[in-house]
């Protein structure tokens, strides 16, 4: 059995740790904060799966492909939707208590779904319920092993990923920074990255402060291929108060509407689905309306839903409103877009394998191709569960590289850091030599690579980013390491956004406002040439010898 290092303790990391332990592997689980701190904990909307008689896997596939704006990998989408129901049943076995009504499990409708298929727990506390149940499951596995005198799974909180260890083109472990400030290396046969997204790149985000893209940055530095990093999803409705708490899309699914500051409903004139249009359309429409009204937030009117429904169905949002001095049962509340979810990330196949042998990526850190250019609402938790399970099943396969990675070149390369033209070089002279400031970086990304983008703004941002430097990673603090990661990722996003000269999904450029059919393909990039596997789209044929075992549902706790 393998020594497996799992980095991250959201849904993807916890599922990977549990499944790997149950498969007999020796697991080390590390997480930057407390075990229960992750993006998963803050997820409100729910988890989508075709579980009901009036729904089907095919319908879920079509909705996902439609939302992905022509950039989904059909094979990854099929895996996501076909295996999703079994993974939801796993969560139930692990103790997640989804909301119920007289017909069974309650389900809701969210934007761009053609069926009501979104499951919730605790109203709008789905992520917290899932995190709590999985943390308890992992701890139960660890306690059971320790009681028997074994160390099959060990948990290390407040331990940050510094960098991956690569030997002869293979990932063999990771360098970690412990809570006491010491750095040490953990050796592993396989490293599973489950470090989440990078909402901290932006001034306004629904993510917790720990979401600094550590896994993607480390994989990039190690030479792994990343893909589609220009596609960052901005949730249309974050409460426009300090902390930007999320206001779930499910609120609009229940019937809430968006109003201008003058009280006029504006989405009906923009898209036939109005407030339930795909997220990128709603986010851009809100941003445009805010610009037209001098930057003031728009209003979300949920008063028609009634106090009883709002407080029972959305207790987390109700509490956030109350903390801000707002009563959304009697008055519309101010909302604005905020960075929410990264569709791009470390490129993987449909088994979580990356371009570096020994390295796997699952959850938001990964770009599986399932989300395309614009993730369908409530598919994120599902993706984390499905592909974490698949990555663990792939661990037992022979080391022989699958045909999926043979003799293929990446479609796109950003060069070592950034390719910049003479105009950028001239501007770089002004900004060269400065230590990066996180707040300044966040504001720069928000203005240049946020909801609306343009070539001119991206070019200026590239110049500024090229001139900033980060602290030396050898003796940096956690905060300095995080800021260095954000600088690496900011450069990647800006370079990729400049290269994609079209508007598609969550990527919208004022100078290229239309989608271009010839550009409906992923952008792969890697830091430099490595003697590693390279990726082709996951839909390419794979021989039966290279395909890991068929899925099974988890045993009860």
> What does the alpha-carbon distance between residue 124 and residue 248 come to, in Å, rounded to a whole number?
7
More confident position, 554 or 283:
283
Q: Which superfamily does CATH assign the domain made up of 3-230+343-410+535-543 to?
A: FAD/NAD(P)-binding domain (3.50.50.60)
- Res. 189: pLDDT tops 90: yes
How would you class 195 by CB atoms within 10 Å of its CB: exposed for 0-12, middle for 13-18, buried for 19 or more?
buried
Determine which one of 279, 453, 509, 526 is catalytic: 279
CATH number of 422-525: 1.20.58.100
Order of strands across the sheet with 118-119? 47-48, 118-119, 107-108
Lowest mean pLDDT among 177-186, 254-263, 413-422, 437-446: 413-422
pLDDT of residue 399: 58
More confident position, 398 or 293:
293
Lowest mean pLDDT among 175-184, 303-312, 337-346, 391-400: 391-400
- Res. 130: pLDDT tops 70: yes
CA-based max dimension of the chain: 67
Closest CA to 153 of 23, 337, 295: 23
> What does the alpha-carbon distance between residue 387 and residue 368 come to, in Å, rounded to a whole number?
9
Q: Is 279 annotated in the active site? A: yes
Q: What is the mean pLDDT of residues 127-143?
A: 96
Q: From residue 161, how far is each of 92, 200, 488 by CA, in Å?
A: 31, 17, 15
Q: What digits encode the pLDDT tens for the residues 233-277? A: 999 999 999 989 999 888 998 999 999 999 999 999 999 999 998
Count other C-beta atoms under 10 Å from residue 158's C-beta. Answer: 16
- Res. 172: pLDDT tops 50: yes
- Res. 92: pLDDT tops 70: yes
**Residue 413: band (very low, low, confident or very high) from pLDDT cuts 50, 70, 90:** very low
pLDDT of residue 227: 96
**Residue 361: band (very low, low, confident or very high) from pLDDT cuts 50, 70, 90:** very high
Query: The tokens 């998963």 sit on which residue?
Result: 40
Question: Could you state, in order of their start, the residue ranges of all structural domains in the chain?
Answer: 3-230+343-410+535-543, 235-338, 422-525
Q: What is the mean pLDDT of residues 394-406?
A: 61
Provide the β-strand partners of residue 339: 205, 234
Q: Does domain 235-338 fall into CATH 3.90.700.10?
A: yes
Phi, psi for residue 187 in degrees, rounded to 5: -90, 140
Give the DSSP H or E segment for 104. strand 104-105
- Res. 410: pLDDT tops 50: no
**Residue 430: band (very low, low, confident or very high) from pLDDT cuts 50, 70, 90:** very low
pLDDT of residue 109: 85
- Res. 360: pLDDT tops 70: yes
Count other C-beta atoms under 10 Å from residue 308's C-beta. Answer: 9
Spatial neighbors of 308 by CB under 8 A, at least 6 apart, are none
How would you class 288 by CB atoms within 10 Å of its CB: exposed for 0-12, middle for 13-18, buried for 19 or more?
middle
- Res. 433: pLDDT tops 60: no
CB of 69 closer than 8 Å to CB of 373? yes
- Res. 148: pLDDT tops 90: no
> What does the alpha-carbon distance between residue 365 and residue 367 come to, in Å, rounded to a whole number?
7
CB of 211 closer than 8 Å to CB of 39? yes
Closest CA to 530 of 419, 410, 417: 410
Residue 437 CA, distance from chain mean position: 24
**Do the strands 26-30 and 3-7 form a parallel or antiparallel pair, or are they unpaired?**
parallel
Q: What is the mean pLDDT of residues 513-534?
A: 79
pLDDT of residue 549: 54
For 113, half-sphere exposure in the C-beta direction (CA atoms, 13 angstrom radius) is: 29
Q: What digits encode the pLDDT tens for the residues 47-74? A: 999 999 999 999 999 999 999 999 999 9
pLDDT of residue 396: 76
> What does the alpha-carbon distance between residue 406 and residue 46 come to, in Å, rounded to a whole number?
38
For the entire predicted model, the pTM comes to 0.89
CB of 138 closer than 8 Å to CB of 17? yes
Distance separating the N- and C-terminal Cα atoms of the chain: 22
pLDDT of residue 398: 66
Percent of the chain with pLDDT over 90: 79
Q: What digits encode the pLDDT tens for the residues 39-49? A: 898 888 799 99
pLDDT of residue 547: 52
Lowest mean pLDDT among 234-243, 417-426, 462-471, 488-497: 417-426
CB of 257 closer than 8 Å to CB of 275? yes
């Amino acid at each position: 059995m393998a020594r497996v290092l799992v980095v991250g303790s959201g849904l993807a990391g916890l599922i990977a740790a549990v499944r790997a332990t149950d498969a007999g592997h020796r697991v080390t689980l590390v997480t930057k904060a407390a075990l229960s701190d992750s993006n998963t904990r803050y997820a409100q909307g729910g988890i989508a799966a075709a579980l009901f008689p009036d729904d089907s896997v095919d319908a879920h596939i079509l909705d996902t492909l439609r939302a992905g704006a022509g950039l989904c990998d059909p094979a990854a989408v099929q895996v996501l939707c076909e295996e999703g129901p079994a993974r939801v049943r796993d969560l139930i076995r692990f103790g997640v208590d989804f909301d119920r009504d007289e017909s069974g499990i309650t389900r809701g409708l969210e934007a761009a779904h053609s069926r009501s298929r979104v499951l919730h727990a605790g109203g709008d506390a789905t992520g917290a319920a899932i995190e709590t149940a999985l943390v308890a499951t992992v701890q139960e596995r660890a306690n059971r092993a320790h009681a028997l005198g074994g160390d099959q799974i060990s948990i290390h909180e407040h331990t940050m990923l510094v960098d991956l260890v690569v030997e002869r083109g293979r990932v063999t472990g990771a360098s970690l920074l412990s809570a006491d400030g010491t750095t040490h290396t953990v050796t592993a046969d396989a490293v599973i990255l489950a470090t989440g997204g990078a909402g901290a790149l932006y001034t306004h985000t629904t993510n917790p402060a720990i979401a600094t893209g550590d896994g993607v940055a480390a994989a990039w530095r190690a030479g792994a291929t990343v893909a589609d990093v220009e596609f960052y999803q901005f949730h249309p409705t974050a409460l426009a108060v300090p902390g930007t708490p999320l206001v779930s899309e499910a609120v609009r699914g229940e019937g809430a509407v968006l109003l201008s500051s003058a009280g006029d409903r504006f989405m009906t004139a923009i898209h036939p689905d109005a407030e339930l249009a795909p997220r990128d359309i709603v986010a851009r429409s809100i941003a445009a309306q805010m610009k037209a009204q001098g930057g003031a937030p728009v209003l979300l009117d949920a008063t028609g839903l009634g106090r009883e429904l709002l407080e029972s169905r959305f207790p987390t949002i109700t509490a956030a409103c109350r903390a801000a001095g707002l009563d959304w049962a009697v008055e519309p509340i101010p909302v604005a877009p905020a960075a929410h979810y990264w569709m791009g990330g470390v490129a993987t196949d449909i088994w979580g394998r990356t371009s570096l042998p020994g390295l796997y990526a699952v959850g938001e850190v990964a770009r599986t191709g399932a989300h395309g250019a614009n993730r369908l609402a409530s598919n994120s938790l599902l993706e984390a569960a499905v592909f974490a399970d698949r990555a663990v099943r792939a661990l037992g396969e022979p080391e022989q590289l699958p045909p999926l990675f043979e003799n293929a070149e990446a479609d796109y390369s950003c060069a070592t850091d950034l390719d910049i033209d003479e105009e950028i070089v001239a501007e770089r002279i002004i900004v060269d030599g400065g230590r990066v400031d996180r707040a300044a970086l966040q504001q720069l990304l928000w203005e240049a690579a946020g909801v609306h983008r343009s070539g001119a703004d991206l070019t200026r941002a590239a110049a500024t980013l090229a001139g900033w430097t980060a602290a030396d990673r050898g003796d940096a603090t956690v905060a300095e390491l995080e800021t260095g990661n954000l600088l690496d990722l900011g450069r990647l996003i800006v370079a990729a956004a400049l290269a994609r000269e079209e508007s598609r999904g969550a990527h919208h450029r004022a100078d290229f406002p239309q989608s271009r059919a010839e550009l409906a393909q992923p952008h792969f990039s890697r830091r430099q040439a490595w003697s590693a596997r390279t990726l082709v789209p996951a839909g390419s044929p794979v021989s039966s010898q290279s395909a890991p075992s068929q899925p099974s549902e988890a045993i009860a706790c």
